[in-house]
Chain A
Amino acid sequence: MTDAATLATALPVRSRARRRVSFRAVFGITVLLAMGGAALLAPQLAPWDPARQMLLKRLRPPAWEARGLREHPLGTDHLGRDILSRILYGGRISLAVSLSSVALAATLGVTLGLCAGFFGGRADAIIMRVVDVFLAIPYILLAMGVVFALGPSLLNVILVMGATRWVQFARIVRADVLSIREREFVVGARARGNRALRLLVRHVLPNALTPIIVVATLELAFMIIYESALSFLGLGVQPPTPTWGWMLADGRNYIATAWWLATFPGLAIMLTVLAVNLLGDWLRDRLDPRLTV
């Protein structure tokens, strides 16, 4: 090799493009930190016991309205319980449940999707038939069935939600893996001694991250609403433990007369979902070296 440091082999210059701080990341992280912090610190932050009924102060509007009371900034519900406190405590459940169930669904779904896509053949056929079965049954019905059998509790709710939504991950991951495994770098990795497990974990999975993150953020949003739905149907966590879903359910009847019962939990759900989606987008891009380096 001539040592005329051939320019063809010169180290490419890394354009240190000034990384503008991403709005999505800041918004997402801030909101989620705020939500998470509020949830964790609910006992310290909540002005009232969320289960305490103060019937003399039922259906009071938020403090800035005419009939509002200063000690109840967001108003009270039909049983005189403080809305703000219920939102803070309710966040604990909603966030905890949705995060756990997404984690469960993702673990189950990604693993099965990787196996189905990578190994093909019988494993693929079996897994995909199971996926088909799960998809055919309406998930609410499934959830109802399981909760009915096992009894409504926090753990059961998480299990049910995780065990019904794993299919979303499995399908997406399997589709991606089917194309990734044919790419030459995977074949090359096999030639250089990677065996199945290492191939899956070191080569296939990192390249399937993008759809996984996208689905995870969508599912997180979905889980929050799913939990609300289950609570609404009476299948979730039982009262008086507040969840945002329960609050929506209760507030449904008062939409016209006492809008604040349903609106604030709705806003809380919306903000959380928005933050999660934005953060997910940012994370997905951040993890792709082609976009960041």
Chain B
Amino acid sequence: MTGLLSIDRISKLYGTSLVPALRKVSFDISAGEVVTLIGESGSGKTTLGRIVLRLTSASGGRVSYDGHDISAYSGAQLREYYRHVQGVFQDPFSSYNPIYRANRVFDLIRTSYFPRIPAPQWQDKIEAALHAVALNPGEVLGRYPHQLSGGQQQRMLIARALLLDVKLLVADEVISMLDASTRVDILNLLVGLKRSGLAILFITHDLSLGHYVSDRTVILRRGAIVEMGDTVEIFGHPQHPYTKNLLAAVPELHKKWRTPAAEAETRAAARNGVDILGNATSAGERSPGGPMAVQPITWRSRWSYRETGHARALEPPPLRSVGPGHLVADDES
């Protein structure tokens, strides 16, 4: 099955950086599919989104949309590409120019894509797009960005994408900056758009959000895929130790990180105290890789280019299949 968008062995090396941001990442996105890209800071998830949006170029590999390599696009072709592929980003507050009214983002679309459309028809189109994102046109049109809430701003950016014939939306941490009470509405909005056939690359560090919206999940670490597959399968039966650690660290309302027994034990140890307080070395002996280990995930320090050499640094750990569509990488930590 060929997807709408196919990401094929994409690598990225940033200028002077010693470590690759992406290492031969490959996966497909089909029409109407939500793929969540999960990773911690520095995992390369945003870089991948930016490559798909042609905001930065890949150092190797290719991204094809509808079977065509997007890196060759320029001018009219690129504009045509953006008619189908749009991005929405984390910080709605900085996506707007504060000195213009917020609906200027729509006018910019009009000048580049619909220069000949008559004004009344354009107005109808805007209103339809705003209704699609559950905004009341009267409440948002003509306002300045600071007069709109974060949720409203984010919805307007999604509406802007909907004005075009958008087939794929790259949503990079779109709700991280929103309040809990409005967050889930944006998620539901994305689910609704997905049902009407929109494919979404949902980039997030938040596993619960990823689980809520997505059909498939790709987990990225150090620029390489560690595990990918059906969302329910990944969350239900994670195979890679990294995925398991990540899932265990997610704060949940009804499940404590630590069991009451372990809790009591640490407290007792803390009260008796002297062993750890008096002895500095014991702190370092805590379960390596456990949550107390310093930066179990941040890797720049331990995993340098110099140690591994260029050729190996770019080579991601091999993926093996453990179930239908469920791929797991070898553990390289």
A associates with B: no
Q: Which residues of B contact A (CB under 8 A)?
A: none
